[in-house]
Structure 1
């Protein structure tokens, strides 16, 4: 009975709507808590230190969610990326062209807008990367809730786009936020990841092999000076996604691990990160700066305008130039609605804001940037939802018209 309940809970947590809802609840809880009379208790919780002296780890609870729990989120992202590259939409060069071009446009345009608006502002030397990422969980949750009546290819396009987008964001995190590099620890991480790849090659299945390799690679990257969440991505990318001849498709390691780990990521890791990262004090000073401060304007315009224009504009141009093909059942208006959803930059944008601005203005710049990300993500989700509902009605009207014609 307990196993059945766990299975049903895992299945429930795997649905995009539930994951996105938990994410929103966690973010709303943090915002309400920190701005309530009990706000001091939130700050105390976030700053509470949890140390492991033997490993020389002394991190706050917020840092553990940022460096530790998000590694699980990135592991799932790595599994999704590997599957898309090998057996999914990105495996076919012709079908992959559109989401790849759209993702690149959705990264370059926000970065250029952020740099142009925030040029010379302290922290923008790395802060321009804040608006470049689309939040997979949040965007797909909004699509699942409000876009059920538009063609199924919309989800495929958005997922493929977000996966490529996340890959670029991961590369940016590795490049921008690696300051000092300790070669011995880096070598240790590489050896652990090589061990993971070999274990996959020889078809080992025991968690007593993979869990230690994953943990040691995470610790080694942390000690090497590289953001430790990249260990999750690397392990995901090194996991096998093709079934053997005598193997059922559902028994492939990547599939099994995603079914096992994704509920933990969606139900625990990402909501906890949102709880610890979204607690922004929204006093009069912060609210007044949201639309006047060049840092926040760079993030808001980069996300809302840059993502929408970049994704839609590059997609339209790629189709017009014959570089890519538009899915037959998706119109340009549908793609514009999906481009607006691309402006939801929640999880990775909050992470980049903390990494890029944690030492600017005693942390006040990071808090302001996170407020801008939260506001813009909310605006993008509402605008995208409205557009998807409208497009859904249009598609339903066409289906109803075709049904009437077939009856006649």
Structure 2
């Protein structure tokens, strides 16, 4: 492979901001670990959705919907919910708790704490949210009832997209995978904000005020984890877990979607160990412990169960499928995810290179960004949740929205596979060069060379 030409320097002597650079080796290793876990979760997610769709359209479909609608819980606390609602409001809060942990880690200790590295995925995520929302709104402009689903196509499903990327892109550069993951993380932050602001129909301030008490105590004890609990993790679990559950119940009772409580609890967990508690060398911090414990529960249990209860929609044969796919709700979702996502992500990233000193890394092509942008059109978990919040569980509009989400996600996955599969072959040799470690210090030479270049600049 020919040697990469040196990066040009602008006339003012300041280096260009490189888009899709490799980033730090530590961050690349951490992201690779997350991707491996999310790949398994994505496979389980797809399997659960397929089982739900088959069951919901089989002769035994009534048993599926009867199971989904079974209610249990305590009514005075607004907790008498169906199994489907428990999955959406309860189990999915675990997923959003991990999203909160990941967001905080990225902006406190990850590469996104540096503005020159965070500006690109943040800008791309904003474009990938705004353009699909505008496209959906344009398709449904004449119908106020369906227009309220404008936020459905704004979210990217991390687990689903990463699973597809792992299957089709085993040799794609780590920078592309990091870009997709960080893009999806910021995307989730925007989706959480949208849910909290636009999908809170009736706010009850009393339980919301009471929720601040267990949340504040949870945050205080989490920050003082070592001081109060030492190495006794079980003692921390025995106190922090009930506080988290109480916070979740009170937020749920307030009218704000309970998944927001998961994000707030994730934000409350410290990412960096303070010197008073031993510093980074004193063992794993609480965020790392929680992520290690909760990610398998989220990827292996919570999200697949949510997908199982949310993806099941009775299509009604080919005629029903045709009716659903021609509904403005489904048309808007499919158009927004398959076209809007890549236009928003690729367009804002390209615009950034034309209006600032940013430029695409010499080792990448714009077709790579396009492929990742197509993959971001896989909207599943959060899209299904927003569809239920927009139209109500089990309504015709909700069913048509689910058909649109499933069809768009499948189409986006196929198109991304066509683009990225061909690129995967071309990157096989580049991947071999990235693993060369001539001084045997455990860090590939390419990362050391880029670190040295960064220090010189």
SS in 2 for 1:227: coil
Q: Deviations for 1:275-314, whole angstroms, at most 9, x for unmatched residues? A: 0001011223431124422111111111111001101111
- Whole-angstrom distance in 1 between the partners of 2:77 and 2:434: 66
Q: Is 1:89 the counterpart of 2:111 in the alignment?
A: yes
- Contact 1:153–1:330 (CA under 8 A) maintained in structure 2: no
Q: Is 1:71 the counterpart of 2:71 in the alignment?
A: no
Q: Is 1:268 the counterpart of 2:301 in the alignment?
A: yes
User: Among 195, 214, 231, which residue is 2:244 paired with?
Assistant: 214
CA distance 1:68–1:255, shift in 2 (3 Å): same
Structural mapping, 1:258-337, within 5 Å: 258-283=291-316, 284-322=318-356, 324-337=358-371
Question: Higher mean Cα deviation, 153-162 or 192-201?
Answer: 192-201
> What is the CA distance between 1:383 and its match in structure 2?
1.6
- Whole-angstrom distance in 1 between the partners of 2:361 and 2:266: 29
- Whole-angstrom distance in 2 between the partners of 1:331 and 1:290: 38
CA distance 1:66–1:157, shift in 2 (3 Å): same
- Whole-angstrom distance in 2 between the partners of 1:242 and 1:399: 32
SS in 2 for 1:57: coil
CA distance 1:56–1:93, shift in 2 (3 Å): closer
Q: Is 1:170 the counterpart of 2:192 in the alignment?
A: yes
User: Among 313, 326, 340, which residue is 2:374 paired with?
Assistant: 340
Q: Is 1:62 the counterpart of 2:84 in the alignment?
A: yes
Unmatched 5+ stretches in structure 2: 1-32, 230-235, 436-457
- Whole-angstrom distance in 1 between the partners of 2:433 and 2:303: 42
**Could you say which residue in structure 2 is the equivalent of 1:406?**
none
**Could you say which residue in structure 1 is the equivalent of 2:150?**
128
Q: Deviations for 1:218-248, whole angstroms, at most 9, x for unmatched residues? A: 1111111110111100011111111234344
- Contact 2:158–2:184 (CA under 8 A) maintained in structure 1: yes
Q: Is 1:102 the counterpart of 2:124 in the alignment?
A: yes
> What is the CA distance between 1:14 and its match in structure 2?
6.1
Q: Deviations for 1:339-367, whole angstroms, at most 9, x for unmatched residues? A: 001101000000000110117xx701101
Give the TM-score normalised by the residue count of structure 2.
0.81
**Could you say which residue in structure 1 is the equivalent of 2:25?**
none
- Whole-angstrom distance in 2 between the partners of 1:402 and 1:226: 46
Q: Deviations for 1:315-345, whole angstroms, at most 9, x for unmatched residues? A: 1111222264534533211111000011010
- Contact 1:13–1:263 (CA under 8 A) maintained in structure 2: no
- Contact 2:171–2:428 (CA under 8 A) maintained in structure 1: yes
> What is the CA distance between 1:139 and its match in structure 2?
1.0
> What is the CA distance between 1:180 and its match in structure 2?
1.5
- Whole-angstrom distance in 1 between the partners of 2:144 and 2:134: 17
- Whole-angstrom distance in 2 between the partners of 1:22 and 1:241: 29
- Whole-angstrom distance in 2 between the partners of 1:24 and 1:103: 24
CA distance 1:94–1:33, shift in 2 (3 Å): same
**Could you say which residue in structure 1 is the equivalent of 2:428?**
396
- Whole-angstrom distance in 2 between the partners of 1:62 and 1:346: 16
- Contact 1:98–1:326 (CA under 8 A) maintained in structure 2: no
- Contact 1:78–1:234 (CA under 8 A) maintained in structure 2: yes
Q: Is 1:152 the counterpart of 2:182 in the alignment?
A: no
Question: Higher mean Cα deviation, 318-327 or 219-228?
Answer: 318-327
**Could you say which residue in structure 1 is the equivalent of 2:161?**
139
**Could you say which residue in structure 2 is the equivalent of 1:20?**
42
Q: Deviations for 1:31-57, whole angstroms, at most 9, x for unmatched residues? A: 111111111110111111112246342
SS in 1 for 2:257: coil
> What is the CA distance between 1:58 and its match in structure 2?
1.2
Q: Is 1:242 the counterpart of 2:272 in the alignment?
A: yes
- Contact 2:378–2:413 (CA under 8 A) maintained in structure 1: yes
Alignment length (residue pairs) = 391
**Could you say which residue in structure 1 is the equivalent of 2:67?**
45
